[in-house]
Amino acid sequence: MPRVSAFYGIVIFFLYNEDRHGGRPHFHAEFAGQRVSYDIETLKPLGGRLPRRPSRLVTRWARLHQDELLANWHRAREEKTMVPIDPLP
């Protein structure tokens, strides 16, 4: 579970060679033991759920870093090292 960012108790990570979600570019977020997968292009949840406030924070952060998220998704698919992404201020 390569972690790429963390802010306000939320951890953002990727999984190497994960086949879930039909190969769609996505990332995972975890908060207080709850996990969700987000589509990188639409920023909509693909599975799982977070409380409203953390979910909004993840979406706001992801809008700022979509290009970096997509680049890391490609790295994960190739089992390469993730590049850290700045947290939400």
Model confidence pLDDT, tens digit, residues 61-76: 999 999 999 999 999 8
How would you class 6 by CB atoms within 10 Å of its CB: exposed for 0-12, middle for 13-18, buried for 19 or more? middle
How would you class 78 by CB atoms within 10 Å of its CB: exposed for 0-12, middle for 13-18, buried for 19 or more? exposed
Q: Is 63 helix (H, G, I), strand (E, B) or coil?
A: helix
The answer to whether the CB of 33 falls within 8 A of the CB of 19 is no
Is residue 18 predicted with pLDDT exceeding 80?
Answer: no
pLDDT band at 21 (very low <50, low <70, confident <90, very high): low
C-alpha span between 73 and 24 (Å, rounded): 10
| Domain residue limits, the chain | 3-77
Check residues 27 and 77 and name the one with the higher pLDDT.
27
51-59 average pLDDT score? 97
